[in-house]
Protein backbone atom coordinates (compact mmCIF):
# COMPACT_ATOMS: atom_id res chain seq x y z
CA UNK A 1 0.00 0.00 0.00
CA UNK A 2 1.25 3.49 -0.87
CA UNK A 3 2.26 5.74 2.01
CA UNK A 4 -0.07 8.69 2.43
CA UNK A 5 1.53 12.09 2.03
CA UNK A 6 -1.06 14.37 3.59
CA UNK A 7 -1.03 18.12 3.09
CA UNK A 8 -3.23 20.98 4.23
CA UNK A 9 -3.69 24.53 2.98
CA UNK A 10 -4.45 27.64 5.03
CA UNK A 11 -5.44 30.82 3.19
CA UNK A 12 -5.60 34.07 5.11
CA UNK A 13 -7.39 37.33 4.35
CA UNK A 14 -10.64 39.13 5.09
CA UNK A 15 -11.14 39.57 1.34
CA UNK A 16 -11.50 35.80 1.00
CA UNK A 17 -14.33 35.72 3.54
CA UNK A 18 -16.35 38.73 2.41
CA UNK A 19 -16.57 37.62 -1.21
CA UNK A 20 -14.35 40.36 -2.62
CA UNK A 21 -11.65 37.95 -3.81
CA UNK A 22 -12.02 34.49 -5.33
CA UNK A 23 -9.66 32.05 -3.61
CA UNK A 24 -7.64 31.04 -6.66
CA UNK A 25 -4.51 30.55 -4.54
CA UNK A 26 -6.05 27.57 -2.76
CA UNK A 27 -6.96 26.03 -6.11
CA UNK A 28 -3.44 26.49 -7.48
CA UNK A 29 -1.71 25.11 -4.41
CA UNK A 30 -4.05 22.12 -4.19
CA UNK A 31 -3.55 21.30 -7.86
CA UNK A 32 0.24 21.51 -7.60
CA UNK A 33 0.40 19.32 -4.50
CA UNK A 34 -2.05 16.77 -5.87
CA UNK A 35 -0.11 16.36 -9.10
CA UNK A 36 3.04 15.85 -7.04
CA UNK A 37 1.44 12.97 -5.15
CA UNK A 38 0.21 14.68 -1.98
CA UNK A 39 -3.30 14.13 -0.69
CA UNK A 40 -4.76 17.52 0.25
CA UNK A 41 -6.94 16.67 3.23
CA UNK A 42 -8.35 20.07 4.04
CA UNK A 43 -8.36 23.72 2.94
CA UNK A 44 -9.01 26.25 5.70
CA UNK A 45 -9.66 29.97 5.29
CA UNK A 46 -9.50 32.55 8.07
CA UNK A 47 -9.50 36.33 8.17
CA UNK A 48 -6.79 38.75 9.22
CA UNK A 49 -7.18 37.91 12.89
CA UNK A 50 -4.27 36.84 15.07
CA UNK A 51 -6.24 34.42 17.23
CA UNK A 52 -7.95 32.81 14.25
CA UNK A 53 -4.61 32.23 12.53
CA UNK A 54 -3.13 30.81 15.75
CA UNK A 55 -6.08 28.50 16.32
CA UNK A 56 -6.18 27.32 12.71
CA UNK A 57 -2.48 26.43 12.71
CA UNK A 58 -2.80 24.56 16.02
CA UNK A 59 -5.77 22.59 14.73
CA UNK A 60 -4.08 21.73 11.43
CA UNK A 61 -0.89 20.58 13.13
CA UNK A 62 -2.91 18.34 15.46
CA UNK A 63 -3.66 16.25 12.35
CA UNK A 64 0.07 15.85 11.63
CA UNK A 65 0.22 16.73 7.93
CA UNK A 66 3.55 16.34 6.19
CA UNK A 67 3.09 19.76 4.62
CA UNK A 68 1.14 22.90 5.50
CA UNK A 69 1.12 25.69 2.94
CA UNK A 70 -0.29 29.08 3.89
CA UNK A 71 -1.07 32.00 1.61
CA UNK A 72 -1.52 35.64 2.56
CA UNK A 73 -0.59 37.96 5.39
CA UNK A 74 3.17 38.41 4.83
CA UNK A 75 3.13 42.07 3.82
CA UNK A 76 4.11 45.30 5.63
CA UNK A 77 0.69 46.47 6.87
CA UNK A 78 -0.88 46.23 10.31
CA UNK A 79 -3.27 43.48 9.23
CA UNK A 80 -0.54 41.19 7.86
CA UNK A 81 -0.43 38.81 10.81
CA UNK A 82 0.50 35.40 9.45
CA UNK A 83 4.10 35.27 10.69
CA UNK A 84 3.08 36.33 14.19
CA UNK A 85 0.10 33.97 14.27
CA UNK A 86 2.15 30.97 13.15
CA UNK A 87 5.00 31.83 15.52
CA UNK A 88 2.56 32.06 18.43
CA UNK A 89 1.06 28.68 17.54
CA UNK A 90 4.55 27.14 17.55
CA UNK A 91 5.75 29.01 20.65
CA UNK A 92 8.56 30.54 18.61
CA UNK A 93 10.02 34.00 19.06
CA UNK A 94 10.30 36.38 16.12
CA UNK A 95 13.68 37.82 15.19
CA UNK A 96 15.35 39.72 12.39
CA UNK A 97 16.23 37.15 9.73
CA UNK A 98 19.54 38.09 8.10
CA UNK A 99 18.74 36.59 4.70
CA UNK A 100 15.32 38.22 4.58
CA UNK A 101 16.79 41.53 5.74
CA UNK A 102 19.46 41.51 3.03
CA UNK A 103 16.92 40.68 0.35
CA UNK A 104 14.46 43.37 1.40
CA UNK A 105 17.18 46.00 1.91
CA UNK A 106 18.55 45.30 -1.57
CA UNK A 107 15.14 45.61 -3.22
CA UNK A 108 14.21 48.92 -1.60
CA UNK A 109 17.67 50.49 -1.95
CA UNK A 110 17.72 49.61 -5.65
CA UNK A 111 14.63 51.81 -5.95
CA UNK A 112 16.16 54.59 -3.86
CA UNK A 113 13.81 53.89 -0.94
CA UNK A 114 14.47 53.79 2.78
CA UNK A 115 13.91 50.70 4.91
CA UNK A 116 11.07 51.88 7.16
CA UNK A 117 9.68 50.04 10.18
CA UNK A 118 6.81 48.71 8.06
CA UNK A 119 9.18 47.38 5.40
CA UNK A 120 11.50 45.91 8.01
CA UNK A 121 8.53 43.96 9.36
CA UNK A 122 8.78 41.61 6.38
CA UNK A 123 12.25 40.52 7.57
CA UNK A 124 11.02 39.60 11.05
CA UNK A 125 10.60 35.81 10.99
CA UNK A 126 10.26 32.98 13.51
CA UNK A 127 13.52 31.78 15.04
CA UNK A 128 15.07 29.06 12.88
CA UNK A 129 12.97 29.85 9.81
CA UNK A 130 14.42 29.88 6.31
CA UNK A 131 13.68 32.87 4.08
CA UNK A 132 12.84 31.87 0.50
CA UNK A 133 13.65 34.63 -1.97
CA UNK A 134 10.69 36.29 -3.63
CA UNK A 135 11.71 36.71 -7.28
CA UNK A 136 8.65 38.72 -8.30
CA UNK A 137 7.81 40.75 -5.19
CA UNK A 138 9.19 41.90 -1.86
CA UNK A 139 8.05 39.71 1.05
CA UNK A 140 10.05 36.47 1.16
CA UNK A 141 8.47 33.09 1.61
CA UNK A 142 9.04 31.46 4.98
CA UNK A 143 9.91 27.82 5.62
CA UNK A 144 9.63 26.33 9.10
CA UNK A 145 10.75 22.71 9.39
CA UNK A 146 9.28 20.70 12.27
CA UNK A 147 9.75 16.99 13.00
CA UNK A 148 7.58 15.34 10.35
CA UNK A 149 6.05 18.57 9.02
CA UNK A 150 7.12 21.43 6.77
CA UNK A 151 5.27 24.74 7.08
CA UNK A 152 5.58 27.01 4.06
CA UNK A 153 4.29 30.59 4.28
CA UNK A 154 3.67 32.32 0.95
CA UNK A 155 2.37 35.80 0.05
CA UNK A 156 -1.22 36.34 -1.02
CA UNK A 157 -0.36 37.93 -4.37
CA UNK A 158 -0.94 35.01 -6.77
CA UNK A 159 2.20 35.32 -8.90
CA UNK A 160 4.36 35.73 -5.78
CA UNK A 161 2.75 32.70 -4.16
CA UNK A 162 3.24 30.65 -7.33
CA UNK A 163 6.90 31.62 -7.60
CA UNK A 164 7.73 30.78 -3.99
CA UNK A 165 5.75 27.54 -4.03
CA UNK A 166 7.60 26.43 -7.17
CA UNK A 167 10.95 27.32 -5.61
CA UNK A 168 10.10 25.36 -2.46
CA UNK A 169 8.98 22.28 -4.38
CA UNK A 170 12.17 22.28 -6.47
CA UNK A 171 14.76 23.21 -3.86
CA UNK A 172 13.50 22.70 -0.32
CA UNK A 173 10.93 19.88 -0.31
CA UNK A 174 11.84 17.34 2.40
CA UNK A 175 8.99 14.88 2.07
CA UNK A 176 8.74 13.98 -1.60
CA UNK A 177 5.90 11.55 -2.28
CA UNK A 178 7.04 8.18 -3.57
CA UNK A 179 3.78 7.78 -5.48
CA UNK A 180 2.52 9.02 -8.82
CA UNK A 181 -0.79 10.71 -9.58
CA UNK A 182 -2.68 10.53 -12.87
CA UNK A 183 -6.10 11.77 -13.96
CA UNK A 184 -8.25 11.96 -17.07
CA UNK A 185 -11.58 13.59 -17.94
CA UNK A 186 -14.11 12.53 -20.55
CA UNK A 187 -17.74 13.35 -21.38
CA UNK A 188 -20.75 11.10 -21.86
CA UNK A 189 -24.28 11.97 -22.96
CA UNK A 190 -27.64 10.27 -22.81
CA UNK A 191 -27.22 8.69 -19.38
CA UNK A 192 -28.55 10.29 -16.19
CA UNK A 193 -26.17 10.70 -13.27
CA UNK A 194 -28.59 8.86 -10.98
CA UNK A 195 -28.67 5.91 -13.40
CA UNK A 196 -24.90 5.62 -13.56
CA UNK A 197 -24.37 6.20 -9.82
CA UNK A 198 -24.77 2.56 -8.64
CA UNK A 199 -22.19 1.35 -11.18
CA UNK A 200 -19.74 4.12 -10.23
CA UNK A 201 -20.18 3.32 -6.54
CA UNK A 202 -19.38 -0.36 -7.13
CA UNK A 203 -16.38 0.42 -9.36
CA UNK A 204 -14.87 2.80 -6.81
CA UNK A 205 -15.27 0.20 -4.08
CA UNK A 206 -13.66 -2.52 -6.20
CA UNK A 207 -10.75 -0.50 -7.58
CA UNK A 208 -10.06 2.04 -4.80
CA UNK A 209 -9.67 4.88 -7.30
CA UNK A 210 -11.41 8.25 -7.43
CA UNK A 211 -14.30 8.75 -9.85
CA UNK A 212 -16.37 11.92 -9.88
CA UNK A 213 -19.30 12.76 -12.15
CA UNK A 214 -19.91 16.44 -12.94
CA UNK A 215 -23.37 17.12 -14.44
CA UNK A 216 -23.25 19.45 -17.44
CA UNK A 217 -26.83 19.11 -18.65
CA UNK A 218 -30.34 18.64 -17.25
CA UNK A 219 -30.69 15.31 -15.40
CA UNK A 220 -33.83 14.17 -17.21
CA UNK A 221 -34.13 16.36 -20.32
CA UNK A 222 -30.59 16.38 -21.74
CA UNK A 223 -28.23 14.42 -19.47
CA UNK A 224 -24.55 15.14 -19.99
CA UNK A 225 -21.76 14.19 -17.60
CA UNK A 226 -18.11 15.12 -17.40
CA UNK A 227 -16.40 12.22 -15.62
CA UNK A 228 -13.13 12.58 -13.74
CA UNK A 229 -11.07 9.46 -13.02
CA UNK A 230 -7.86 9.67 -10.97
CA UNK A 231 -5.55 7.26 -9.19
CA UNK A 232 -2.23 6.97 -7.39
CA UNK A 233 0.35 4.32 -8.11
CA UNK A 234 3.85 3.28 -7.05
CA UNK A 235 4.89 3.99 -10.65
CA UNK A 236 3.47 6.29 -13.30
CA UNK A 237 2.58 3.29 -15.44
CA UNK A 238 0.58 1.78 -12.58
CA UNK A 239 -1.41 4.98 -12.03
CA UNK A 240 -2.10 5.36 -15.76
CA UNK A 241 -3.18 1.71 -16.04
CA UNK A 242 -5.64 2.05 -13.16
CA UNK A 243 -7.25 5.13 -14.69
CA UNK A 244 -7.48 3.85 -18.24
CA UNK A 245 -8.86 0.47 -17.11
CA UNK A 246 -11.60 2.20 -15.12
CA UNK A 247 -12.41 4.53 -18.01
CA UNK A 248 -12.82 1.57 -20.34
CA UNK A 249 -15.28 -0.05 -17.93
CA UNK A 250 -17.27 3.16 -17.57
CA UNK A 251 -17.44 3.71 -21.32
CA UNK A 252 -18.65 0.16 -21.91
CA UNK A 253 -21.31 0.59 -19.23
CA UNK A 254 -22.48 3.90 -20.69
CA UNK A 255 -22.81 2.39 -24.16
CA UNK A 256 -24.76 -0.58 -22.79
CA UNK A 257 -27.20 1.91 -21.24
CA UNK A 258 -27.79 3.64 -24.57
CA UNK A 259 -25.48 6.56 -23.90
CA UNK A 260 -22.65 7.91 -26.02
CA UNK A 261 -19.07 8.87 -25.25
CA UNK A 262 -18.19 12.26 -26.69
Q: What's the rounded Cα separation, in Å, for the pair 141 and 14?
A: 20
Q: What pLDDT is attached to residue 176?
A: 81
Other residues' Cβ atoms within 10 Å of the Cβ of residue 176: 12
Q: What pLDDT is attached to residue 1?
A: 40
> With 50 as the cut, is the pLDDT of residue 2 above it?
no
Q: What is the pLDDT of residues 151-168, one digit of tens each?
A: 999 999 999 999 999 999
Q: What pLDDT is attached to residue 247?
A: 97
Confidence class of residue 3 from pLDDT cuts 50, 70 and 90? Answer: low
Q: What pLDDT is attached to residue 79?
A: 96
Q: What's the rounded Cα separation, in Å, for the pair 95 and 86?
A: 14
Q: Which residues, including other chains, have CB under 8 Å from residue 103's CB and lie 6 or more apart? A: 123, 131, 133, 134, 140
Q: Tell me the average pLDDT across 122-140.
A: 97
Domain boundaries defined on the chain = 6-171, 180-261
Query: Do the domains spanning 6-171 and 180-261 agree at the CATH topology level?
Result: no
Q: What's the rounded Cα separation, in Å, for the pair 118 and 233?
A: 48
Q: What pLDDT is attached to residue 7?
A: 97
Question: CA of 136: how far to CAs of 88, 133, 139, 164, in Å?
Answer: 28, 9, 9, 9
Q: What is the mean pLDDT of the chain?
A: 95
Q: What pLDDT is attached to residue 96?
A: 98
H helices of the chain, where?
Answer: 14-17, 24-36, 50-61, 82-90, 98-109, 117-120, 158-171, 193-207, 236-256
Superfamily for 180-261? EIF_2_alpha (3.30.70.1130)
Q: Which residues, including other chains, have CB under 8 Å from residue 256's CB and lie 6 or more apart? A: none
Q: What pLDDT is attached to residue 258?
A: 96
Q: What's the rounded Cα separation, in Å, for the pair 15 and 21?
A: 5
The CATH number corresponding to 6-171 among 3.40.50.880, 3.50.50.60, 3.40.50.150, 3.40.980.10 equals: 3.40.980.10
Q: What is the pLDDT of residues 142-154, one digit of tens each?
A: 999 999 999 999 9
Q: Which residues, including other chains, have CB under 8 Å from residue 63's CB and lie 6 or more apart? A: 6, 8, 41, 42
Amino acid sequence: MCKMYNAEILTIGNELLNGRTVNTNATHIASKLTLLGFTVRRITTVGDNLKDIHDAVKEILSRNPMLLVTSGGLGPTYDDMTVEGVANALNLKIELNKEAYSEILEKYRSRGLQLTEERLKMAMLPVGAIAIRNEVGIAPGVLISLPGTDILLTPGVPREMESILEKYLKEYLRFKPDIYYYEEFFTVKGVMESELAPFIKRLVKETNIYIKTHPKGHETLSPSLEIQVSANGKTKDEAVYKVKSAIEEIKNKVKSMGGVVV
